[in-house]
Amino acid sequence: MPQHTPSRQILTLDAGSDAVGPGPDPRWSTWPSVAKGLRGPEPRPAWVVTAAAALDTELGVLKTGKEADVFLVERAVPDDPSRSVLLAAKRYRDTEHRQFHRADTYTAGRRERRSRDQRAAADRHSAWGRSVRATQWADAEFATLCALWEAGAAVPYPVQIDGTELLLEFVGHVADDGAAVAAPRLAQTRPAPELLADWFSQLRTAMGVLARLGWAHGDLSPYNVLADGERLVVIDLPQVVDLVANPFGADLLHRDCRNICAWFSSRGLEVDADELFAEVFAQAW
């Protein structure tokens, strides 16, 4: 997790998107206003800034997606460079402005914490139903990331959730010129042959952690994995699938295996999707 001297002139660079300039004026940190249960798991990494005097400054867009956009945010205590960190702010769109229309496949078997919320989400015409659906993906991703982080999986640390906004660990680094450079997606890398086997092992381990918790990613591909140097980080987990309750669970896990193995095979590493599926699926039981 890169820390840096606060600067309004940071440019964000994400492989696959254009660099953009500084954002609007800062706001007070939202950390003090969110409930304890909506903050990341303890023990928290040392880089997490919890000071009430901190400011959140939006610096630009990191990436856009089907259901959410991700922005770069600096959380820093003015005049104290030791308490400054870059975060990724993932903001979910409302249901009317999403491009993702296959939600039912992933949420089959999933239960909301409150039955009345589950009933509301099923009502596609009420304002309450729209409100519940607008937050259920963010809530699901935050809860999943917390559980995976505590289980030791290679995922971004979830700092907090506030409505439809998740603040997450920024996966990347700060260049010598002060620019924040997001880690590229796996699909955009050209790794040396000797790195491929290690990367595949990292993903197999991450999929195993998910399976032992009873889950599959459900949409795992080289576009949902970041390459942070030699470390791989799995991202985009709102659609995580319950392998037991979801009737499509095994099929979606098998698709995850095919997607990942196809990429590694295309880079020259001999891997078998069916073998990976059998190994991972067995860990769910």
Output the average pLDDT for the chain.
85
Domain-terminating residue out of 135, 161, 182:
182
Q: What is the pLDDT of residues 76-115, one digit of tens each?
A: 999 898 999 999 999 998 765 444 445 566 556 655 555 5
d(CA 23, CA 185): 24
- The total of structural domains in the chain comes to 2
Same domain as 33, residue 152: yes
Same domain as 164, residue 109: yes
CB atoms within 10 A of CB 122: 12
Tokens of 265: 């095979």
Instruction: Please report, for the domain that includes residue 263, its CATH number.
Output: 1.10.510.10
Residue % of the chain over a pLDDT of 70: 78
Same domain as 233, residue 92: no
**Which residues, including other chains, have CB under 8 Å from residue 205's CB and lie 6 or more apart?**
154
- Given this model, what pLDDT does residue 24 score? 58
Same domain as 247, residue 203: yes
Residue 174 lies in a domain: yes
Domain that holds residue 226: 186-282
Same domain as 147, residue 25: yes
- Given this model, what pLDDT does residue 97 score? 41
d(CA 127, CA 268): 51
**Which residues, including other chains, have CB under 8 Å from residue 93's CB and lie 6 or more apart?**
67, 68, 69, 164
Residue 7 lies in a domain: no
Same domain as 203, residue 102: no
Same domain as 154, residue 97: yes
3-state secondary structure 76-128: ECCCCCCCEEEEEEEEECCHHHCCCCCHHHHHCCCCCCCHHHHHHHHCCCCHH
The pTM is what? Answer: 0.84
Residue 203 lies in a domain: yes
